């Protein structure tokens, strides 16, 4: 199969991500699914799409990231 330059660049970019995910899974001793869920959860919390778990003094454990 012959790939265009754009397709080759896209493939290299995905290869970099695959290598990073594999390395993180090994270092954190997590499965691929667990790591991807963690990454997505943290992103969603950071951007206010998901409630965050706050450990602030005296407050409840859940707090809105939009506050």
Q: By percentage, how much of the chain surpasses pLDDT 70?
A: 73
User: Count of domains in the chain?
Assistant: 1
**Where in the sequence is the domain holding 53, given as residue range(s)?**
24-67
Examine residue 29 and state whether it is found in any structural domain, yes or no: yes
Examine residue 37 and state whether it is found in any structural domain, yes or no: yes
Examine residue 35 and state whether it is found in any structural domain, yes or no: yes
Residues 6+ apart with CB under 8 A from 24: 30, 35
Examine residue 56 and state whether it is found in any structural domain, yes or no: yes
- The model carries a pTM of 0.60
Residue 21: pLDDT band with limits 50, 70, 90: very high
Examine residue 13 and state whether it is found in any structural domain, yes or no: no
Residue 48: pLDDT band with limits 50, 70, 90: very high
Examine residue 3 and state whether it is found in any structural domain, yes or no: no
Interhelix angle 32-46/5-28, rounded to 10 degrees, is 100
Examine residue 34 and state whether it is found in any structural domain, yes or no: yes
Examine residue 55 and state whether it is found in any structural domain, yes or no: yes
């Amino acid at each position: 199969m012959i790939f265009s330059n754009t397709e080759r660049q896209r493939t290299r970019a995905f290869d970099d991500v695959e290598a990073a995910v594999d390395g993180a899974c090994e270092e954190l001793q997590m499965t691929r699914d667990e790591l991807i869920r963690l990454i997505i959860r943290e992103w969603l919390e950071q951007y206010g799409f998901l409630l965050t778990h706050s450990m602030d003094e005296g407050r409840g454990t859940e707090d809105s990231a939009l506050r």
